[in-house]
Amino acid sequence: GIQVEQSPPDLILQEGANSTLRCNFSDSVNNLQWFHQNPWGQLINLFYIPSGTKQNGRLSATTVATERYSLLYISSSQTTDSGVYFCAVERAAGNKLTFGGGTRVLVKP
């Protein structure tokens, strides 16, 4: 199956700092999503981004499908950004969405 690798595995930030999370995948994909799992366990869909760039407030994401990676940018981080960020990909329609291992982010006040 497709391999999804996220880096770094852990990230500690001071409130107000910027950061970049990376997702590498081993095959062509037609579906890529970023999720945030908050400290209460809820999984929130941040972006559906099989290619290109999108922005939502302080968060933005870029997927370069031809080079098989995606980046999630967090700007001016806040303590509420803490949690685990997952990248998930699907190789082709009718296939399954496979999750990476996640990046655990802690934003300190």
Partner 1 sequence: DAGVIQSPRHEVTEMGQEVTLRCKPISGHNSLFWYRQTMMRGLELLIYFNNNVPIDDSGMPEDRFSAKMPNASFSTLKIQPSEPRDSAVYFCASSFRQGLAYTFGSGTRLTVV
**Of the ranges 8-16, 51-59, 64-72, 82-90, which one interacts with partner 1 (CB under 8 A)?**
82-90
Rounded Cα distance between 16 and 38, Å, is 19
CB 82 within 8 A of CB 105: yes
Residue 59's beta-bridge partner residues? 56, 74
Binding to partner 1 by residue 25, rule CB under 8 A? no
CB 78 → partner 1: shortest distance, Å? Answer: 22
List 8, 39, 97, 108, residue binding partner 1 (CB under 8 A): 97
Q: Which of 8, 39, 52, 101 touches partner 1 (CB under 8 A)?
A: 101
| Min dist. Cβ of residue 81 to partner 1 (A) | 18
Any idea what DSSP says for residue 11?
E
- Count CB atoms within 10 A of the CB of residue 14: 9
Gap between the Cα atoms of 85 and 40, Å rounded: 13
The residues that touch partner 1, with contacts defined as CB under 8 A, are 30-31, 33, 35, 41-45, 48, 86, 88, 90, 93-94, 96-99, 101-102
